[in-house]
Amino acid sequence: MKIAIDAGHGGKDPGAVGPGGLEEAGVVLDIAKRLSAGLLSLGFETCLSRAADVFVELGARCEIANDWDADLFVSIHCNSDGPEAVGIETLYKSQKGLMLASPVQRALIEATGDRDRGLKYRADLYVLNGTIMPAILTEVGFISHPATEARLATEDYRALLAKTIASVLADYGSARKPRA
């Protein structure tokens, strides 16, 4: 199974910035690289939309996944709102996306103990519209919340997020492999 992993933002676009100065682009790039490494170790093929702190247009992110003929597309982001907002949510557009989003969301909540902000249908997100395979966008926490920013700043927490997502994707992919 081929899984395209999109680390949101990058380069000239730092994404959301936490109250302590932590930038979303760096956090999600680290999670994406860890996710890719975990999936590779499990025998999956992966492709990163960006592997460094560079800016990649939204259309190019979709083209990378589509041209590579990925089976799944996972975009990783951090949410931002007021300093009191907390939780994880996972966004999807299609029914197949929902079938992937649901176990990812459930596993992230179980692993982190964070507030469950649920699954959200979003037909207006470019990367969900522009990809032809089942696609999700997971918001792994509110970087605008001081305690969440502190967690996202640690390697252990980012590793936990990546390992959790990798486990779900591995289960999802194994359940869909053709039987010999």
Query: Is pLDDT larger for residue 8 or for residue 175?
Result: 8
**What is the pLDDT at residue 174?**
81
Radius of gyration of the chain (CA): 15
pLDDT band at 54 (very low <50, low <70, confident <90, very high): very high
Mean pLDDT of 44-52: 98
* Residue given tokens 């860890």 in the structure block: 34
Q: Any long-range contacts for 62-68 (C-beta under 8 Å, 24+ apart)?
A: 62/126, 62/127, 62/130, 62/131, 63/130, 64/4, 65/4, 65/6, 65/131, 65/133, 65/135, 66/130, 66/131, 66/132, 66/133, 68/2, 68/4
pTM surpassing 0.85?
A: yes
Summarize pLDDT for 80-104 with one digit per residue, the tens: 999 999 999 999 999 999 999 999 9
Res 180 pLDDT > 80: no
**Structure confidence by residue, pLDDT tens digits, 3-17:** 999 999 999 999 999
**Which domains does the chain show, CATH number per domain?**
2-92+104-174 (3.40.630.40)
85-119 burial code (b ≥16 CB/10 A, e <16): ebbbbbbbbbeebeebbbbbbebbbebbebebbeb
Instruction: Report the chain's mean pLDDT, rounded to a whole number.
Output: 96
Just list the catalytic residues.
139
